[in-house]
């Protein structure tokens, strides 16, 4: 592993609490650069920092990968990856038909040749990082408008990425923003594009408890799956090809079937997606009053529509499965966040901290005068977002919920962007991303279902009709104020458009914007009319981003002057480590949730009615106490899931749960309902993550479904 | 206290497990006669049996009373009684108007003269018991029909009661059936008829959590109230009169404000109403398939109707409050029982025990031949009840749910019964009970609300129309098959009847059956037509009772031969003791419910929306941490409720929770949802009772509502 050592400015910012204070709290998604400073031993980890990440040799990190938006671990020398069922869900769904229902029945590849291609899945392994803050920020000039600032920074980041990829052929480069407007790091990844499905339990195991249990503890869900990464026969990254060979990771994780018990230290390595802990009270207010409630309303409605459509026809249900599951996940999380923010009084607490900071600034006006308007200016941005929020959020959903409009937007956007020089394009249309973008578009078109789409379009138009207008969007007003029935308008547009036809979309992908304009498809035509308004929205967002970028940069500066320690960058999809213990918590007075569930609890929850169905082979194995070597020594039964006080967020799905000696003992898949506000704030009292116990995984694969060759590969 | 010592046959039956086995289980509502045998010391109670019940002096039992269907404790020398808010609910409701809403506002009597009469409340204190099994059973002759048998036994019991009351003027006598068809005990009670309300917290405290929290743990309900018993100035029992004086109990309970903690031993004395643990699998089947589901349907519908009516008008809500609360309580308990019976597989377990017993009988046919048909014969009775159940249960509800029909039935029944010699009457119409029966009727008429009644009648007729007929009930068929609209029929009957008018009902109470027949009230007239059918139903029930009485007597005999120990009579409203510990339980895998809640949890649950409203004075006291001397030493806050593994059922409401030294430390008010099946079977793992901590009671009365004179009286 190559490792570019740079004394990065963002490391200076990281004056980790552990150096000065006790290790009472486990908050912290530590960047791998921090391993030497956080006191691994004091936290109960028996590995040295360089055993986790080593600039000059192989280390644990070589066995961790990013699988699309999730995390995975290599668990064999032949590129076998363990991740969540919900991370492989899209591949399982895309491989399913009404005749061959991999969601319902699960999937076992009896031999390598039977493994199923997971279209549009990629795997990355972190290889190195370099601080590029000054390179990025040098392009921002005081005379720039905020929109210009954003565009300049974006362009600079893309240039750095392209240059790094040119220097490192086959690798993927990403410049990540660590502290907004302050620090930027270039990560280099090994990048694999041939990923295949190896094992998936039936969805009744993989998503046992469904949306009712999602974000909840106790849990009895076997949310795991096995995939495998492949390379070209020469070992280089390559697109799918039958002759490809399994990827040989530099390192894979040892699977420890002896498991864990309450009180044990565990840590996770993974790619947490996004947290917003360094944002202001005004941001929290916007989230609480505008964005989250709107999301809850829009998503719960769409989920209902998809469920209604799927209830009548299994093949429709399969088409909607991935999208519906993903919306449901966000919808419930958002509900949890609304409850949690209110309960924790997050806005009020941040206001108090900010009042203190403002007083500090005011008290040193000579020296800190330039920071005096930072907080009010940030507040003004969110205030404007609060006013425009309902309209903007609904406009964005108008080009997402009705899939035809989503396809139309992508086509128009792609045609427009492709006409620009590569580095000036929106990221999805850059040459390095274009094939993935178009592949995803075609996969989505394959899941299109007309009747649902008609209801989505009609529902969005009804909603937009009720929203007070702040500006004239002529192509929209024309439709919703035409006096014609909205249902009728939606029916006509959906029935006349050909964008549900993959061949037609493929054809459109080749056309220039002028050629698209000449097409008589009504969805495309309407989108061409709407497109300038969406562009205006995009520029508006970039302008805000530029403003916030500068303001948050200033805020971090002055906060540093006030409080000298405790800053960690928010999660941003880059590799992080988090440590915790297997431990209980008390969500409310007089209820304690203990940290290990067993197959007896699975039996207890099983009603035979969806989502609490347990397949017969599992029931039989439990009833006959056929536990193999996988029973928990103290409990005498196979453990199912467990709970631990690490600091995680979305993107940590599929992360290995690792014991003090660096062995894999579980796979992370969720948080508790109370921990949905982790994204805003972490709390030792109730922030808990949930993993499936590796003993349950091994038991399901080998004892229940007899795929012993796979567990042998994992335990070799 | 007088104590009639009789070597009772039912005592011989009580070969308590404790004598031979370990004290692992706390099942057992022990009759007070058993105190010497159950090993009080081994169970952690520091009192000697005679300190709890003493034939020759005063003891704890003198401080315990029955308050209507509940239990209470004397907590001062001046007859002050502590019981539940829900036990005093009817008195609080009857004392309320839309102008003076004691339910909403609570009630504090500033001085004795302000205490409010609790109409139709009585208080009993157990004074003695005598086994009268042979006297009762001697009247049963083999040649009798089952109906004759029931009537003969009933008459004999009434004669014994009347004779005992003649010998003990002013006292109340009750012959209780201990083992069905086997053992009968005559209890003598001091019987007080002037009871007054002294203190009631607002219903938002007394029933905090409402039906959502009812039957659930954790709990934050201050379900307590204070009442006071009065006697004539000469100390004799008397009806309410302004010049009456407080009753001077022989003994009152010491209130121990130092409270308890997890692991402590507690015991309860109380009047548990009814359990059915000694019944057969066939009985369980009838309950599970017929009675409980019917109750759930009929009650949940009536509750909805009452809630709908009350939502528009607070004075209507007050009228319905007692009835609605009582139905809701039974409805949720019944739902819990249905779940619990299924989960515990009670029927199957009893079947196994019965199969074993049957095999035992069959294997000794010479000696035990006469028992060979006991189980099948009992099964046949329940089989018949299963077939007739839907009709019978709905017919019974027809004369209960529409209150006009209930009033009409009582009037017709009273007129008919009063024409008979006292000892031959149905119990409510015997001279000793008549005034209470008529008083209750008039109180109920006062709560009548026409529009609700019309919906109840219409709903019952709709239901009866759908039930397959097993026999012609002409007055019913005439109505539901008339072709007229059922709503119209109900509207006419309700609008034309005068039975909602207390004056008219009072007038009717004086009339003979002939005079009633001459009345042109349509509800009365229809009831007069229906009455013979209700009489047939009553005789049918008595016939079954006679049969079961004989069969269960035989069953107990043969069970004794098979299993030599462990028999305890089912609860039957007589005084019992039960012992347990303050302890947690686990309702499902990975959830532990810990046994003490605090005011912090109350705050946590408070939403400001019914039923989770907390009055401002309580919120303020919590926020200001004004705990007075009532904080839990370990938890540092005022405890609210606690959980313990005693064996209780309905009737134990208001029972004192007593520490090992015999001091009152709480007031029992509920069970956990899992413990709703206590009535069928008790289980150490999940059978838990719930009490309000006396520290919360004292804190609410004195610190929050400033009624210090009352807490001084309690702590004197």
Q: Which of B589, B598, B604 sits opposite A218 (nearest CB)?
A: B589
User: What integer pLDDT is reported at residue A294 of this predicted model?
Assistant: 97
Tokens 């039975």 appear where? B499
Q: Are B275 and B679 in contact (CB under 8 A)?
A: yes
Cα separation, A696 vs A257, whole angstroms:
9
Average pLDDT over residues B1-28: 40
pLDDT band, very low/low/confident/very high, at B203 (cuts 50, 70, 90): very high
User: What integer pLDDT is reported at residue B4 of this predicted model?
Assistant: 39
- Cα torsion angle, A704, A709, A712, A713, sign: negative
User: Percent of chain A scored above 70 by pLDDT?
Assistant: 96
Cα separation, B365 vs A691, whole angstroms:
61
| pLDDT of B16 higher than 70 | no
User: What integer pLDDT is reported at residue B25 of this predicted model?
Assistant: 42
User: What integer pLDDT is reported at residue B564 of this predicted model?
Assistant: 67
Q: Are A694 and A290 in contact (CB under 8 A)?
A: no
| pLDDT of A321 higher than 80 | yes
Identify which of B525, B396, B410 has the alpha carbon closest to the alpha carbon of residue B464. B396
Average pLDDT over residues A414-427: 96
| pLDDT of A12 higher than 70 | no
Cα separation, A636 vs B67, whole angstroms:
49
Average pLDDT over residues A331-356: 94
User: What integer pLDDT is reported at residue A560 of this predicted model?
Assistant: 87
| pLDDT tens per residue, range B594-640 | 999 999 999 999 999 999 999 999 999 999 999 999 999 999 999 99
Choose from A216, A590, A674 for mutation: most chain B CBs within 10 A.
A590
User: What integer pLDDT is reported at residue A13 of this predicted model?
Assistant: 35
The pair of structure tokens assigned to A291 is 């964005």
Minimal-distance CA residue of chain B relative to A594: B590
User: What integer pLDDT is reported at residue A566 of this predicted model?
Assistant: 65
Choose from B590, B595, B596 for mutation: most chain A CBs within 10 A.
B590
B244/B569: higher pLDDT: B244
Identify which of A689, A687, A655 has the alpha carbon closest to the alpha carbon of residue A671. A689
Among the options B26, B76, B78, B86, which is catalytic?
A: B86
Crossing angle, helix B146-167 and helix B431-446, to 10 degrees?
Answer: 100
The pair of structure tokens assigned to A281 is 């009270």
User: What integer pLDDT is reported at residue A488 of this predicted model?
Assistant: 95
User: Percent of chain B scored above 70 by pLDDT?
Assistant: 96
Cα separation, A229 vs A193, whole angstroms:
8
User: What integer pLDDT is reported at residue B97 of this predicted model?
Assistant: 83
User: What integer pLDDT is reported at residue B9 of this predicted model?
Assistant: 34
The pair of structure tokens assigned to B584 is 């947690």
- Pairs across A and B, CB distance < 8 A: 59
Choose from A344, A589, A636 for mutation: most chain B CBs within 10 A.
A589
User: What integer pLDDT is reported at residue A98 of this predicted model?
Assistant: 78
**Does A688 contact B at CB distance below 8 Å?**
no
**Does B691 contact A at CB distance below 8 Å?**
no
pLDDT band, very low/low/confident/very high, at B23 (cuts 50, 70, 90): very low
Taking contacts as CB-CB distances below 8 angstroms, the residues of chain A near B685 are: none
| pLDDT tens per residue, range B374-398 | 999 999 999 999 999 999 999 999 9
| pLDDT tens per residue, range A17-39 | 333 333 434 678 999 888 999 99
In this complex, do A591 and B220 lie within 8 Å of one another by their Cβ atoms?
A: no
Residue B582 phi/psi, 5° resolution?
-70, 110
In this complex, do B591 and A592 lie within 8 Å of one another by their Cβ atoms?
A: yes
Average pLDDT over residues A522-531: 97
Residues of A marked as catalytic: 86, 223, 653
Minimal-distance CA residue of chain A relative to B589: A601
Residue B693, SS3?
strand
ipTM for the whole complex: 0.84
User: What integer pLDDT is reported at residue B652 of this predicted model?
Assistant: 96
Q: Which of A217, A589, A592 sits opposite B600 (nearest CB)?
A: A589
Average pLDDT over residues A583-600: 96
List helix spans (H) across A399-521: 403-418, 431-446, 450-466, 474-480, 486-496, 502-509, 513-517
Identify which of A212, A387, A390 has the alpha carbon closest to the alpha carbon of residue A295. A390
- Shortest distance between the Cα of A344 and any Cα of chain B, in A, equals 11
Taking contacts as CB-CB distances below 8 angstroms, the residues of chain A near B218 are: 588-591
Catalytic residue at B131?
A: no
Cα separation, A698 vs B10, whole angstroms:
58
Q: Which of A218, A590, A597 sits opposite B218 (nearest CB)?
A: A590
| pLDDT tens per residue, range B554-568 | 999 999 888 766 678
**Does B54 contact A at CB distance below 8 Å?**
no
**What's the CA angle centered on B464, arms B459 and B468, to 5 degrees?**
150
Cα separation, B671 vs B650, whole angstroms:
9
Q: Within a 10 A sphere around the Cβ of B377, how many other Cβ atoms?
A: 16
| pLDDT of B692 higher than 70 | yes
Catalytic residue at B449?
A: no
Taking contacts as CB-CB distances below 8 angstroms, the residues of chain B near A217 are: 590
User: What integer pLDDT is reported at residue A69 of this predicted model?
Assistant: 94
Catalytic residue at B365?
A: no
- Kindly write down the DSSP assignment for every residue of A151-217, as one continuous string: HHHHHHHHHHHHHHHHHSTTEEEEEEESSTTT-EEEEEEEEE-EEEEEEE--HHHHTTTHHHHTT-S
Indicate the Cα dihedral angle A506, A507, A512, A514, nearest 10°. Answer: -130
Contacts made by residues B703-711, CB under 8 angstroms, sequence distance 24+: B703/B621, B703/B626, B703/B627, B703/B628, B703/B630, B704/B617, B704/B618, B704/B621, B705/B106, B705/B108, B705/B201, B705/B617, B707/B108, B707/B199, B710/B80, B710/B108, B710/B198, B710/B199, B710/B226
| pLDDT of B304 higher than 80 | yes
Q: Are B543 and B151 in contact (CB under 8 A)?
A: no
B662/B26: higher pLDDT: B662
| pLDDT tens per residue, range A94-150 | 999 878 999 999 999 999 999 999 999 999 999 999 999 999 999 999 999 999 999
**Does B601 contact A at CB distance below 8 Å?**
yes
| pLDDT tens per residue, range A645-682 | 999 999 999 999 999 999 999 999 999 999 999 999 99
| pLDDT tens per residue, range B467-496 | 877 668 999 999 988 889 999 999 999 999
Q: Is the pTM of this model over 0.90?
A: no
């Amino acid at each position: 592993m190559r490792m570019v050592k740079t004394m990065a400015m963002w490391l200076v910012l990281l004056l980790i609490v552990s150096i000065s204070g006790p290790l009472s709290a486990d908050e912290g998604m530590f960047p791998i650069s921090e391993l030497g400073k956080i006191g691994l031993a004091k936290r109960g980890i028996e590995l040295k920092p360089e055993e986790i990440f080593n600039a000059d040799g192989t280390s644990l990190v070589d066995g961790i990968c990013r699988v699309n938006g999730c995390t995975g671990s290599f668990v064999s020398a032949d590129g076998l990856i363990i991740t969540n069922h919900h991370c492989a869900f899209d591949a399982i769904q895309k491989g399913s038909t009404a005749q061959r229902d991999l969601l319902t029945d699960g999937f076992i590849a009896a031999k390598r040749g039977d493994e199923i291609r997971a279209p549009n899945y990629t795997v990355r392994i972190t290889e190195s990082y370099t601080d590029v803050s000054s390179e990025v920020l040098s392009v921002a000039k005081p005379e720039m408008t905020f929109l210009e600032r954003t565009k300049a920074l974006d362009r600079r980041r893309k240039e750095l990425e392209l240059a790094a990829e040119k220097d490192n052929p086959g690798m993927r480069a990403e410049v990540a923003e660590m502290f907004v407007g302050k620090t930027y790091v270039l990560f280099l990844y090994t990048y694999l594009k041939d990923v295949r499905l190896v094992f998936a339990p039936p969805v009744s195991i993989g998503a046992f408890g469904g949306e009712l249990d999602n974000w909840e503890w106790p849990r009895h869900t076997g949310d795991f799956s096995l995939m495998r990464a492949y390379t070209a026969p020469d070992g280089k990254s390559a697109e799918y090809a039958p002759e490809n060979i399994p990827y040989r990771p530099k390192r894979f994780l040892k699977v420890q079937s002896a498991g864990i018990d309450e009180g044990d230290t565990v840590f996770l390595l993974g790619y947490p997606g996004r947290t917003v802990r360094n944002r202001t009270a005004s941001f929290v207010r916007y989230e609480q009053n505008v964005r989250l409630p709107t999301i809850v309303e829009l998503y719960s409605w769409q989920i209902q529509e998809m469920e209604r459509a799927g209830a009548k026809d299994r093949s429709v249900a399969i088409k909607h499965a991935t999208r519906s599951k993903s919306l449901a996940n966000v919808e419930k999380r958002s509900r949890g966040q609304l409850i949690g923010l209110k309960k924790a009084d997050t806005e009020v607490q941040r206001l108090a901290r900010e009042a203190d900071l403002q007083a500090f600034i005011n008290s040193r006006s000579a020296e800190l005068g330039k920071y005096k308007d930072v907080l009010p200016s940030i507040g003004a941005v969110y205030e404007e977002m609060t006013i425009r929020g309902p309209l903007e959020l609904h406009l964005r959903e108008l080009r997402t919920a009705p899939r035809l409009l989503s396809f139309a937007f992508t086509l128009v956007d792609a045609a427009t962007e492709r006409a620009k020089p590569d580095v000036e394009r929106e990221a999805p249309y850059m040459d390095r991303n274009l094939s993935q973008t178009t592949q995803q578009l075609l996969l989505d078109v394959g899941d299109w279902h007309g009747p649902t789409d008609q209801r989505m379009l009609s529902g969005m138009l009804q909603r937009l009709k009720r929203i007070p207008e702040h500006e004239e969007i002529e192509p929209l007003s024309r439709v919703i104020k035409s006096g014609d029935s909205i249902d009728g308008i939606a029916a006509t547009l959906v029935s006349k458009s050909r964008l549900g036809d993959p061949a037609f979309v493929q054809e459109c992908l080749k056309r220039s914007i002028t050629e698209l304009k000449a097409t008589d498809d009504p969805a495309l035509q309407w989108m061409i009319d709407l497109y300038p308004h969406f562009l205006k929205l995009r520029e508006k967002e970039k302008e805000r981003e530029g403003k916030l970028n500068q303001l948050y940069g200033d805020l971090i500066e002055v906060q540093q002057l006030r409080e000298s320690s405790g800053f960690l960058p928010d999660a941003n999809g880059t590799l992080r480590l988090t440590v915790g213990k297997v431990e209980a918590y008390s969500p409310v007075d007089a209820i304690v949730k203990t940290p290990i569930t067993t197959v007896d609890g699975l039996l207890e929850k099983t009603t035979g009615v969806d989502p609490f169905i347990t397949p017969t082979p599992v029931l039989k194995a439990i009833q006959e106490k056929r536990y193999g070597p996988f029973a928990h020594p103290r409990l005498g039964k196979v453990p199912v899931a467990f709970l631990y006080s690490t600091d995680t967020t979305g993107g940590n799905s599929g992360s290995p749960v690792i014991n003090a000696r660096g062995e894999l003992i579980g796979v992370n898949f969720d948080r508790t309902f109370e921990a949905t506000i982790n994204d805003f704030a972490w709390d030792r009292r109730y922030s808990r993550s949930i993993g499936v116990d590796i003993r349950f995984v091994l038991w399901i694969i080998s004892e229940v479904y007899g795929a012993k060759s796979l567990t042998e590969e994992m335990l070799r």
